[in-house]
Amino acid sequence: MLRYIKKHIRLIKHKGYYKKMAIGPFCIEYVRSDMYKDFYSFINYFSQSFTFNARYAAKYRILSHIRYIPFFIAKKDYDNFERIRKSIDPTKIKTAVGETRRLQLNILTLSKEVLTDLEKNTGLKPMLHGGSLLGAVRHKGFIPWDDDIDFFLMRPEFNKAVEYLKNKYITIDTSDWTWNSYYDNLRQTLNKYPNTIVCIHTSTAFKCFRGTSDDYAFVDLFAGDYYSEQFTDYTFKKYIDSVRAQMSRPDMKTFSQKFSFFNKEISDNINIVSRSNNIYYGIDEHAFHMYPFRAFRTMDDVFPAICLPFEDTEFYAPHNPDVFLKKMYGDYMTVPLNIIPVHQKDRISTKEGDNNNG
C-alpha cells in the first residue's frame, strides 16, 4: 500500500500530508477528499463540465464517503479538472457579484480614505501587495473571489505609517491578545466602535478596520525588510525555518511576546540591514511564516513605485509587477485550485464569537 501511495501521490499533489502521516490507506482517502473540496469551490464560480462523479462528490463530500471512490475514477476527475482549470483565461473572468462585491467596494472605499490620508500627511506611498497586486495586474481590480486588500512599505516607512495611524485613529492595545482570542476580541472591539476606523496591530500585520462584527471592511499594511546579500537561498531558507521555530515556542502565545521577539531580532540581527538588493517580507509579516521562499525581490523589482489601475482608482505598486508576482506565485496567470474567499471563515467567526485559530 505504501508503494502504491508513493507511486500516485504526485498525481494529487498533497505531498505534505503524505510526509506527515506516511502510513495506511487514510492518506489517499484524505487527499481525495481534499481534492474534491477544491472541485467544489471551483464549481461555485465556474459552470464547466465535470464527470458526474466529480460533481456528486463535490456537492455531497461531507455526507458521502470519499474513500469509496476508486482511484482510477478520482485520477480521471483530477485530470479533467486540471484541463478545464488551465484552459480558463483568468483575465476574462467577470467581477464578483452580490455580497462579495459589496464587501469589495466597502474595502475599496476604506482603502482610498486611509491611503489618501497617509500620502497627504506623511508623503508615504504604500504599494499593492500579494493577491491585491495580482488582482491589479490580472483583473484591473479585485480578484473576483478576494475579500481583502494588502499593501506594503519597507520597514522605516512602515514604522512611520504605523505611528501616524495610531495617533490619527482609535488604536486598540493588543498586547495580551493571542490568535486563540483574536476573533472574540475583534468582535468586541468592532461592536464597541461601530462604523469608526479602528487600528489593530497583530503579530503579522497592521490593520485598519471599519464596520461592525456583522459587516466590516479592513485594510492590511505589511512591512518589508532588506536582508544581507551574504544570504544564499539555502541559508535564508534556514533562517526562515529558525524564525518559524521560535514562533512555535510555548512562551510565544501573546502578541506582546511576539512583538518583543520581532523588535529584538530586527534590531540585533546583522543580516537585517538598512539597504541591500535583497528584499523580502519582514519577519513580522504573514507571508514570511505561511509561504515557501522562492526568491528575493531586487531594488529594480520594487523601486521606483508605479501606479496601476485598480477598480475606479489607482494605487501604487512595485516597479516591475510581473517579476514581483512570478517570484511570489510562479505562474500567476493560471486560476488557482482553491478560490474560496480567504477571510470568509474569519468573518463568520467574528460574528459568532468563535475562537478558532487565525
pLDDT at 39 over 80: no
Structural domains counted in the chain: 2
In a domain, 338, yes or no: yes
Output the pLDDT for position 347: 53
Same-domain status, 102 and 151? yes
Same-domain status, 60 and 124? no
Which of the two residues, 297 and 215, has the higher pLDDT score? 297
CA–CA dist 350, 340 (Å, integer): 18
Mean pLDDT of 95-114: 94
SS (H, E, C) the chain: CHHHHHHHHHHHCCHHHHHHHCCCCHHHHHHHHHHHHHHHHHHCCCCCCCCHHHHHHHHCCCCCCHHHCCHHHHHHHHHHHHHHHHHCCHHHCCCCCHHHHHHHHHHHHHHHHHHHHHHHHHCCCCEECHHHHHHHHHHCCCCCCCCCCEEEEEHHHHHHHHHHHHHHCEEECCCCCCCCCHHHHHHHHHHHCCCCCEEEECCCCEEEEEEECCEEEEEEEEEEEEECCCCCHHHHHHHHHHHHHHHCCCCCCCHHHHHHHHHHHHHHCCCEECCCCEEEECCCCHHHHHCCCCCCECHHHHCCCEEEEECCEEEEECCCHHHHHHHHHCCCCCCCCCCCCCCHHHHHHHHHCCCCCC
Give bridge partners of residue 226 from the DSSP assignment: 273, 279
Mean pLDDT of 253-260: 97
pTM: 0.80
pLDDT at 50 over 60: no
In a domain, 26, yes or no: yes
Give bridge partners of residue 201 from the DSSP assignment: 206
CA–CA dist 327, 321 (Å, integer): 10
Interval 320-338: pLDDT, tens: 999 999 999 988 998 877 6
In percent, how much of the chain has pLDDT > 70?
Answer: 73
pLDDT at 143 over 70: yes
Q: Which three cell numbers stand for residue 21?
A: 502521516
Same-domain status, 130 and 7? no
In a domain, 358, yes or no: no
pLDDT at 220 over 60: yes
Mean pLDDT of 145-156: 95
Same-domain status, 138 and 74? no
CA–CA dist 145, 163 (Å, integer): 32
Output the pLDDT for position 27: 43
Rounded to 5°, the CA angle 90-217-125 comes to: 75
Please give the residue range of the domain that contains residue 102. Answer: 98-352
Interval 260-283: pLDDT, tens: 999 999 999 999 999 999 999 999
CA–CA dist 297, 282 (Å, integer): 12
Last residue of a domain, one of 32, 60, 88: 88
Last residue of a domain, one of 68, 88, 108: 88
CA–CA dist 65, 60 (Å, integer): 9
Last residue of a domain, one of 54, 70, 88: 88
Same-domain status, 207 and 166? yes
In a domain, 131, yes or no: yes
Same-domain status, 77 and 123? no
Return mean pLDDT, the chain.
83
Least confident of 28-42, 101-115, 157-171, 183-197: 28-42
Same-domain status, 66 and 129? no
Mean pLDDT of 31-54: 57
Closest CA to 139 of 97, 103, 92, 106: 92
Same-domain status, 122 and 267? yes
Mean pLDDT of 325-352: 70
Same-domain status, 247 and 292? yes
